[in-house]
Amino acid sequence: MKAIFDPRQLEHGPETYFRRGAEMPHPEQPRRAILIRDMLQENGFPVEAPRDFGLDPIRAVHDPDYVEFFRDAHARFRADAPPDALAIPTTHPGPRRGRCPADIHGAMGWWMTDTSTPLTEGTWDAIYWSAQSAIEAAEHVVNGEPMVYALSRPPGHHAMAAAANGFCFFNNACIAAHHLTRRWKKVALLDIDVHTGNGSLDILYERGDILFISLHPDPAGYPTFFLGHEDETGEGEGAGTCRNLLLPMGASQDVVLEALDQALEMIRDFGTEALIVSLGFDMAADDPLAAVGVHPDGFAEMGRRITALGLPTVLVQEGGYLGPSLAQNACSFLTACREEL
């Protein structure tokens, strides 16, 4: 099983962001990808650079004006900002689809949105090549490879059709899922990052050809808030094709695996022909943003059960931060997938 990664994905370098009212170090660091890339090379996974598929696959799921905005957004900000200013928004539009949560920090975000996607000099190149890595992985699967891993960084599953959110700019998993529909009529996107795939839900909510399933704690009290409730199941042609499986805070590994089994049954029932996995190692018990308790052996079991579906599969990296077991969790999951193929 090969992996796709481009070193330009390391050029987005946020230093700080605001969380719960305080400025703090940004957890979405280039070192995340370096640790996983090095693990891949040490364990015999071929790592290839993506080709340039251009902007059309990105524009297929994102508002073209939104995509174009990022090309020179940092330069425009720097030209008009004080020297030490943090490139984050300080004025915000009204709310989008979703609901105001009970949590005060979530309620503030409903009206104020978030500060987690500061622009840096290398943001455009990083997000562009992160998306290209996902597209390249999808292209390999379209052409017959059974499973390919896209080490996409920055991550993407919180990015909506026209809004950056939760460390994410371009929704790499949705871009890859749409790419798979060139060959297959029924695609599933399974999100096993600990946070709701709110951006993917936003993008896919009215699509009937892509089944979206996300495992995550209740967004009424856990980031990224707003979207990901059990009764949000899609609209129009997408009615019934979005499913949110809520985990209790602190859920054990066994509880997470039970929810995964529910998701896999839904994928089978949909008649899925190809699969995208939004892969988050922040399900780990020792992740800095931990909310549930998965361990390396649990990630290996998740990999085995997903691979046992026997579907053409693209794995797209989402969260998983600089906790002590990040590389080990990635190794456990990906090695199990490789052994199961």
* Catalytic-labelled residue, pool 74, 158, 178, 179: 158
**What's at 73, amino acid-wise?**
A
Q: Is the pLDDT of residue 156 over 90?
A: yes
pLDDT given for residue 108 in this prediction: 64
pLDDT given for residue 114 in this prediction: 86
Which of 59-73, 92-106, 145-159, 261-275 has the lowest average pLDDT?
92-106
Counting the structural domains of the chain, the total is 1
Mean pLDDT of the chain: 95
Cα dist. 142→136, 177, 314 in Å?
10, 11, 10
For the segment 248-304, what is each residue's pLDDT rounded down to a tens digit? 999 999 999 999 999 999 999 999 999 999 999 999 999 999 999 999 999 999 999
The whole-model pTM stands at 0.96
The pair of structure tokens assigned to 286 is 């020792």
N residues, the chain? 341
Cα dist. 168→20, 255, 301, 332 in Å?
19, 27, 27, 25
Residue with tokens 């929810």: 259
Stretch 130-153: mean pLDDT: 98
Cα dist. 155→88, 200, 230 in Å?
18, 12, 24
For the segment 45-56, what is each residue's pLDDT rounded down to a tens digit? 999 999 999 999
Angle of CA points 258, 276, 37, to nearest 5°? 95
Domain residues for the domain of 179 are: 3-340
| Per-residue three-class SS string for the chain | CCEECCHHHHCCCCCEEEECCEEEECCCCHHHHHHHHHHHHHCCCCEECCCCCCCHHHHCCCCHHHHHHHHHHHHHHHHCCCCCCCCCCCCCCCCCCCCCCCCHHHHHHHHHCCCCCCCCCCHHHHHHHHHHHHHHHHHHHHCCCCEEEECCCCCCCCCECCECECCECCCHHHHHHHHHCCCCCCEEEEECCCCCCHHHHHHHCCCCCEEEEEEEECCCCCCCCCCCCCCCCCCHHHCCCEEEEEECCCCEHHHHHHHHHHHHHHHHHCCCCEEEEEECHHHECCCCCCCCEECHHHHHHHHHHHHCCCCCEEEEECCCCCCCCHHHHHHHHHHHHHHHC
Q: Is the pLDDT of residue 60 over 90?
A: yes
The pair of structure tokens assigned to 130 is 């992160």
Question: In the annotation, is 105 catalytic?
Answer: no
Stretch 97-114: mean pLDDT: 76
The pair of structure tokens assigned to 17 is 């962001």
Taking the C-alpha atoms of residue 115 and residue 337, their distance in angstroms, rounded to an integer, is: 35
CATH value at residue 307: 3.40.800.20
